[in-house]
Structure 1
Amino acid sequence: MRDLEYVAAVTATTGGGGALWLGGIAVPHRRLVLRWLRRQALRLADGHGRDLPPASPWLRARDVRQITFHGSDPPKGLRAWADDEGRQDEALHALESGRPALLTVVDPAVGLHVTLAGWPVGPDRPLATPVPPGEPSSQGRDLTPCCSAPP
């Protein structure tokens, strides 16, 4: 899998089905995807109700646009995932084996779903985003935090 590149994206969907692209990146290594996703999870959580931390200076990375959460569950879920070494290892192993790594947090007050995803791309893999959590799929693993699962 040395010839693969990796992409990551953060999206938000509302209960009405509207989707919003918050940002994304393409990088040459799975560890950089995970590093970027972890940074975005912490930025989104830390930006809840405050100004965002400064943008990242590394690897032409662009940080995602901030969104407002109406409850405290999504920031807690984002922090829990970013700070959990076991979940980080699971995400890294998913990417290593050619599957997407997905994290979805839910703001039940407004039906907002925020998904952080990373997946490999290359000559034998599509550039399209992976199937969102909750949809039928034969690949990927839903890494949704237990405390932020949809009702």
Structure 2
Amino acid sequence: MKATLSAPGRVRVLDYVAAVTVKAGGRALPLGGVALPNRRLVLRWLRRQALRLADGHGRSPAPAAPWLGARDVRPVTFHGSDAPEALRAWAGDHGSQDHAMSALESGRPALLTVVDPFVGLRVTLGAWPVDLCGWVAVASANRPHPPRTEGG
């Protein structure tokens, strides 16, 4: 089952969903997400969000992306440099990107969680095929949440 999202005058097939969440003090909050037609665009969006979050450490976040009308996630204030460095490393590592692409291609979610050890803040970037959740398009496009994983 593929989800579709209607826009005035066109219909898109949305095969993948991506979301970024933050967990602190036992509460998980969504920072933002998108539904997109292919895994390359989903990973491109996740890499951009990883770099925006990392680069926002101590500075103002980068302006919103003009391509595809993508919605950028809300910024997070990190208290140390461990999490921002881990986000940058993941975004720039071709092996990590290939692994995420393979996971999505095989129908599994691609997840990355970084931790700010100073305050116990956990930021998770996730992408998964729409078929994994059996979602309808409106839920996918407006309120994406990563699938639950064991221990997570």
Instruction: Give the shorter-chain TM-score range.
Output: 0.7 to 0.9
Instruction: Give the letter aligned to residue 126 of structure 2.
Output: A
Residue 7 of structure 2: aligned partner: none
Whether the aligned pair in 2 keeps the contact of 1:102 and 1:133 (CA below 8 Å) is no
- Indicate whether 1:95 and 2:112 are aligned: no
Q: Take 2:133 and 2:115, find their aligned partners in 1: how far apart are those partners?
A: 29
Q: Take 2:18 and 2:44, find their aligned partners in 1: how far apart are those partners?
A: 10
Residue by residue over 1:78-130, the C-alpha shift from the partner in whole angstroms, topping out at 9 and shown as x without a partner, is 000000000000000000110000000001111100000000013x6433622
List gaps (5 residues or longer) in structure 1.
Answer: 136-151
RMSD: 1.9
Whether the aligned pair in 1 keeps the contact of 2:133 and 2:147 (CA below 8 Å) is no
Residue 13 of structure 1: aligned partner: 23
Give the alignment's TM-score, normalised by structure 2: 0.81
The structure richer in strand per residue is 2
- Indicate whether 1:70 and 2:87 are aligned: no
Q: Take 1:88 and 1:35, find their aligned partners in 2: how far apart are those partners?
A: 9
Q: Identity, % of aligned pairs?
A: 68
Within a 5 Å distance, the mapping from 1:18-57 to structure 2 comes to: 18-57=27-66
- Indicate whether 1:126 and 2:110 are aligned: no
Whether the aligned pair in 2 keeps the contact of 1:8 and 1:117 (CA below 8 Å) is yes
Within a 5 Å distance, the mapping from 1:104-119 to structure 2 comes to: 104-119=113-128
The structure, 1 or 2, with the larger RCO (C-alpha pairs under 8 Å, 6+ apart) is 2
Count of aligned positions: 133
Give the alignment's TM-score, normalised by structure 1: 0.82
Q: Take 1:35 and 1:101, find their aligned partners in 2: how far apart are those partners?
A: 13
Q: Take 1:40 and 1:60, find their aligned partners in 2: how far apart are those partners?
A: 14
The structure richer in helix per residue is 2
Whether the aligned pair in 1 keeps the contact of 2:34 and 2:71 (CA below 8 Å) is yes
